Amino acid sequence: MQGTAIAQPNIALIKYWGKRDVALNLPAVGSISITLRDLHTRMHVTFDDALEADELTINGVPDQGMLPRLASCLDRVVEHDRRCARIDSQCNFPIAAGLASSASSFAALTVAAAHAAGKAMTTAELASLAGQASGSAARSLLGGFVELVNTDDGIAVETLCDADEWPLEVVVAITETGPKAVGSTEAMEISRKTSPFYANWVDQQAADLDTARAAIDDRDFDALARVAEHNCLKMHSIMWASRPPMVYWNAATMRCLETVRALQARDVAVFFTIDAGPQVKAVCLPEHAADVEGALRATPGVEDIMVSGLGPGARLESTP
Ligand code: DP6
């Protein structure tokens, strides 16, 4: 009645922003991401008759705030009356750093819980369950370059290219560690209901996905850079034009973009992407990682840097 699984966060290059079904948490658009290697969440789940309520610890500290969302995910995995669970989450990167800790957490939780419940599930079933908890979590089921595809009745995930087939590096510049003003679930709905750019975004996503898929097939870094930056700035434009406006950037975010532009002017193969927070993720070829890291570290307002290559999808860990 127990299972341990490990999963890494992923960074979207072609973003998921907006839902076509809020109740089922189905995305309005497909997306393409890269799964990281060096940051991870390990989830241990035990179903135990002796417990009177679900329990959660995050890095050894009891936590009530995240518990309802994790418990709902367990309900969906187990389906019928389930025993109470002890969930132990260990994360090797700052949870408040805006690095999609929910993606790695829900991917690992789904895999661990399915094992603990004795349910043999396909990757498609696990991705669908993880995606109901958090849309981006479905992509962390797989490694390398991953596409999330909207299907008639849900979602599917597929690997476009394995991590070792195109080994890029991601340098994350952390510019602020406080909680975000508006969570992405709520922000997406505000965008859908109020942004004049939202409908265009949904219409144009297929073209961006096609361009990115072709760039990945061809290992064409410049083409991937152009479409990823464009897609990211479109997503932020929707947020800026929403009512109320949602601006996740700070002054250091902008300075990091200038740093990336200066690196590009020196022919350094790097591009930026930014999610619903102020951190800048700089994606680069491995031979440029030290240069990119040094330049971002020297950028005023950058508090910390994390560097990761690309890695595998969520997997069970053998319990001793
Ligand atoms: C900007 O997966 O956190 O990071 O499904 O509401 O939990 P919910 O949203 P979430 O949104 C991620 C948004 C994004 C872009 C992306 O990862 O594709």
pLDDT value at position 96?
Answer: 61
- The closest alpha carbon to 272, from 240, 238, 249, belongs to 249
Per residue in 198-243, pLDDT (tens digit) is: 999 999 999 999 999 999 999 999 999 999 999 999 999 999 999 9
Predicted confidence band of residue 181 (pLDDT cuts 50, 70, 90) = confident
Per residue in 25-43, pLDDT (tens digit) is: 999 999 999 999 999 999 9
Per residue in 89-105, pLDDT (tens digit) is: 999 987 766 677 899 99
pLDDT over 90 (residue 179): no
What does pLDDT average to over the chain? 95
Atom of ligand 1 nearest to the CA of 136: 2
Predicted confidence band of residue 111 (pLDDT cuts 50, 70, 90) = very high
Spatial separation of the C-alpha atoms in residues 216 and 17, rounded to whole Å: 21
Q: Are 138 and 31 in contact (CB under 8 A)?
A: no
Show the tokens assigned to 184: 């992405």
What are residue 80's phi and psi, to 5 degrees? -90, -175
pLDDT value at position 159?
Answer: 98
- The closest alpha carbon to 309, from 294, 277, 287, belongs to 287
| Å from CA of 23 to ligand 1 middle | 15
Residue nearest ligand 1's atom 8 by CA = 134
Per residue in 40-84, pLDDT (tens digit) is: 999 999 999 999 999 999 999 999 999 999 999 999 999 988 999
Residue nearest ligand 1's atom 1 by CA = 275
| Å from CA of 48 to ligand 1 middle | 32
Q: Is 215 exposed, middle or buried (0-12, 13-18, 19+ CB in 10 A)?
A: buried
Spatial separation of the C-alpha atoms in residues 38 and 308, rounded to whole Å: 5
> Whole-angstrom distance between the N-terminal and C-terminal Cα of the chain?
14
The set of protein residues with a Cβ atom below 6 angstroms from ligand 1 is 12, 15-17, 25, 31, 100, 102, 134-136, 184-185, 275-276
Show the tokens assigned to 195: 């942004």
Show the tokens assigned to 140: 């962390």
For 18-42, the DSSP string reads: -EEETTTTEESS-EEEEEBSS--EE
| Å from CA of 238 to ligand 1 middle | 15
pLDDT over 70 (residue 125): yes
| Å from CA of 16 to ligand 1 middle | 6
Predicted confidence band of residue 319 (pLDDT cuts 50, 70, 90) = low
Which sign, positive or negative, has the C-alpha torsion 173, 174, 176, 179? Answer: positive
Confidence (pTM): 0.97
Q: How far is CA 190 from CA 14, 75, 195, 198, in A?
A: 20, 28, 8, 10
Q: H helices of the chain, where?
A: 67-78, 101-116, 123-133, 184-194, 198-218, 221-240, 251-265, 289-297
Mean pLDDT of all residues in 134-156: 97
Helix (H) and strand (E) counts in the chain: 8, 16
Per residue in 272-305, pLDDT (tens digit) is: 999 999 999 999 999 999 999 999 999 999 999 9
Q: Is 300 exposed, middle or buried (0-12, 13-18, 19+ CB in 10 A)?
A: exposed
pLDDT value at position 87?
Answer: 98
**Which secondary structure element, helix H or strand E, spans residue 110, and what is its range?**
helix 101-116
